A and B are shown apart, each in its own frame.
Chain A
Amino acid sequence: MKQFLVFIGKIVLVLLLSAFALDFIYTTVFAQSEARNKVENVINSKPQDYDVIILGTSRANNHFVSELFEKEGLKTFNYGMSGAHLFETSLMLKLMIERNWEIKNIIVETDLNLSNEKRDDGTFGRFMPFLHKSETITNHFKKEADFTELYYVPFYRYIQFDEKVGFRAWYKTLLNEPTNTLANNGYYPLGHNPKANMKNNIEKLKPLRNRYFEEIKQICKANHINLIAVTTPMCSNVKGMEYFKKVKALYPEIKEYEHVVDGDEYFSSCGHLNDKGARLYTAKIIEDLFKK
């Protein structure tokens, strides 16, 4: 039995050493990359100057055409991320500030995402390689239920979020294989989708006095950034559009833009404009908020 316990001890040792080694190798590789997604693009960046930074979910990513801002002489990047919640949006802004970015205006998409304060695992996972690198990230995640194991158990965070920062992401990062995430200054245009489901039901959603939106407001105030919070359009067949009225009641400063693009031909799906619709929407935003 003693021989067996020694044998098991050696297996555990191999497991621990392997975990430490892999953790080091993965973290080192991800620390060198800034071209594969928006999270690492911010984390591994040098100080930047921007006139406009766009934040939010896919409804920011697919709706704000950076090129149209640039045409007006506004240096712009769209950091909207598909699936992200305000939990991650707030962190992205904190990281930009931590890296001494100079930002004049921030446009935050604040509509459906006001209804929850939880993390989005898909986006959250992308921050994992940098958990020990940035105090801002560590502090932001500290209240998460699984923080202890993610922070202290070597390689656990890569296992837990293997879809986003697993082996495949690692070797593609190692090979420096680019993605299209950063193309078009972060804006991702959607095409026409003839099979799209052009209806939605948001009756069950309830906007919250969202702590992460509150954080964003405080950060902007403290860093003299002009915060522009806007809603974005939905298709014509949506049940529960009263949601937007509740948003307005809760946050009068949020500007209502959910109705500015009319007609399902401008949508790729019920919650996402196609490129044509996004251009109309962005033009209206620029007209109202940057030209007047």
Chain B
Amino acid sequence: MFFNSLSFAIFLPIVFLLYWFVFNKNKTTQNAVLIVASYYFYSCWDWRFLFLLVFSTLLDYFSAIMMENSTTDKKRKIWLWLTIGINLGFLGVFKYYDFFVQSFADLLNGFGFQTNPVLLKLILPVGISFYTFHGLSYVIDIYYKRITAERNFIDYSLFVSYFPLLVAGPIERATHLLPQVKIKRHFNFEKAKEGVYQIIWGLVKKVVIADSCATYANAVFDNYESMNSLSLMLGAVYFAFQIYGDFSGYSDIALGTSKLFGIDLLKNFNYPYFSRDIAEFWRRWHISLSSWFRDYLYIPLGGSQGGMWMKVRNTFIIFLVSGFWHGANWTFIIWGLLNAIYFLPLLLRNKNRSNMGEIEMGWNFNSVKAILNILGTFVLTTVAWIFFRANSISEAIGYIQKMVTDFHFDSQYLSNERYNFELLLLVLVFVFVEWFNRSKVEPLSGKASWIKVTLAIMALLALGVYSDYKEFIYFQF
């Protein structure tokens, strides 16, 4: 059941009505209805993986209590590593086993040894990377005594399986979400209205921007050998907007949906393509994952405490792991590596926190500099996205090589029966809308909101891509 499907449009109002009108007695009944809804939501993909979700919930719930009850640090540590080991073990088997075995076999073949690797070819349970990290943050926080273990199983289950964030985040923290599910929620009109605006805007990003860009990006990437420089550049730009519209659109719908139930989720995007350097980009893109790696990997590794070498080493580790988190393919690892390389000059010059404030525009040199920096950062991220999108490293290199050496800039007719420039106007309009609303969560609220909502709905109807139904990209992770 996707957020952009008819079934979700039926499911959401039913859950909303049950939640506020039938099971509104206390927080336990509210949580219970959300858990049932979440399990139903998850089972719509594949009911068999519900067992995995329930197992993961039970594991983290009991090991957190055991950890808290442990009398010695050694026992606490055993419980921590046992939980991390089992959680990552599941992730490893489902997501990475085939990759490691195949890569090892390829390596041996390279040395002349004939191998016949046994691959599992398992279906990846949807959202496994998200709820695994979700649970891990909880047990690690317990271990470091940042929070106390949750004894109420219903509350804890909701923390893990809450449907708006279950399949593609944001990766929540117990410190943020658990306190909200432990109290009865009261209906707040302003919050719910904000949620509806965010859902509508998220749908525009997904159905109008991302899915339109997808048809063009696919047509270019799938036929990159016959494309010229202009088409390849546009293909990369379209993919940059596809992935942004897709993932931030999903996050907006998730956050908006959650607001309807009176629960705030962590902000996941903050207009990342308006970043002035790559460090700022990573503070604005998939914020819940970046901050997860910062808090649970970078800082435990020593963070920036051990001098420059330590900082560089830890930065490369988190970018490589972040790349690998996205998928079992070398392309994601290279994507992570590229971002680490982009980050390096900022780190070496201690400039990685120089663009912390909001962008202020005026008729002055600083504004011109900011715009050029934004464009430069966008170009860098777009080049990195080529590796993210390509099926193999050689394909990505071939794509870039052709893009910079072909030197033909005439408009080409694509396999989607469109010209490669046709989408640019829509993308530009989208960029302007986001730019002038960058201080807000979404552009629909505020003055003339009904006109903006009407335009958004008309855009959804008239400009949305529906016939070629498209999943959210991040569901595969």
State the A residues within 8 Å of B (CB). Answer: 1, 3-4, 7-8, 10-11, 14-15, 18-19, 22, 121, 125, 155, 158-163, 166-168, 170
Residues 444-473 (chain B) with a chain A CB within 8 angstroms: 450, 453-454, 457-458, 461-468
Residue in contact with B457 in the complex, picked from A4, A15, A158, A159, CB distance below 8 Å: A15
Contact B454 A1 (CB under 8 A): no
Complex: A160 Cα to B193 Cα, angstroms: 29
Closest to B426 in A: A167
Return chain B residues, CB-CB under 8 Å to A125.
467
Check if B189 is an interface residue, CB within 8 A of chain A: yes
Return chain B residues, CB-CB under 8 Å to A170.
462
Minimum CB–CB distance for B452 against chain A, Å:
11
Contact A4 B187 (CB under 8 A): yes
Check if B20 is an interface residue, CB within 8 A of chain A: yes
Main secondary structure of the interface of B (DSSP, over half): helix
Contact B193 A155 (CB under 8 A): no
Complex: A163 Cα to B458 Cα, angstroms: 17
Contact A159 B189 (CB under 8 A): no
Q: Scoring B residues 2 to 20 as 1 if CB is less than 8 Å from chain A, else 0, what string do you get? A: 0000000000000000001
Residue in contact with A160 in the complex, picked from B187, B192, B450, B467, CB distance below 8 Å: B467
Besides A14-B453, A125-B467, A166-B467, 5 more A-B contacts (Cβ < 8 Å) are A1-B187, A15-B457, A18-B461, A22-B458, A160-B466
Known A1-B20, A168-B418: A162·B465 in contact at CB below 8 Å: yes
Complex: A15 Cα to B461 Cα, angstroms: 9
Contact B461 A155 (CB under 8 A): yes
Closest to B188 in A: A4
Contact B193 A7 (CB under 8 A): yes
Known A18-B457, A22-B458: A4·B193 in contact at CB below 8 Å: yes
Contact A22 B193 (CB under 8 A): no
State the B residues within 8 Å of A (CB). Answer: 20, 187, 189, 192-193, 196, 200, 418, 422, 450, 453-454, 457-458, 461-468
Known A1-B187, A14-B453, A18-B457: A162·B193 in contact at CB below 8 Å: no
Return chain A residues, CB-CB under 8 Å to B418.
168
Return chain B residues, CB-CB under 8 Å to A14.
450, 453-454, 457
Return chain B residues, CB-CB under 8 Å to A163.
467-468
Contact B466 A167 (CB under 8 A): no
Return chain B residues, CB-CB under 8 Å to A121.
467
Contact B196 A159 (CB under 8 A): no
Closest to B21 in A: A1
Contact A4 B454 (CB under 8 A): no
Return chain B residues, CB-CB under 8 Å to A162.
464-467
Return chain B residues, CB-CB under 8 Å to A168.
418, 422
Complex: A14 Cα to B461 Cα, angstroms: 12
- 10 nearest interchain CB pairs? A159-B466, A3-B189, A18-B458, A163-B467, A167-B462, A18-B457, A4-B192, A162-B467, A4-B189, A14-B454
Complex: A155 Cα to B422 Cα, angstroms: 23
Complex: A8 Cα to B199 Cα, angstroms: 13
Return chain A residues, CB-CB under 8 Å to B450.
10, 14
Minimum CB–CB distance for A127 against chain B, Å:
15
Which of B453, B464, B467: most chain A Cβ within 10 A?
A: B467
Contact B461 A22 (CB under 8 A): yes
Minimum CB–CB distance for A213 against chain B, Å:
28
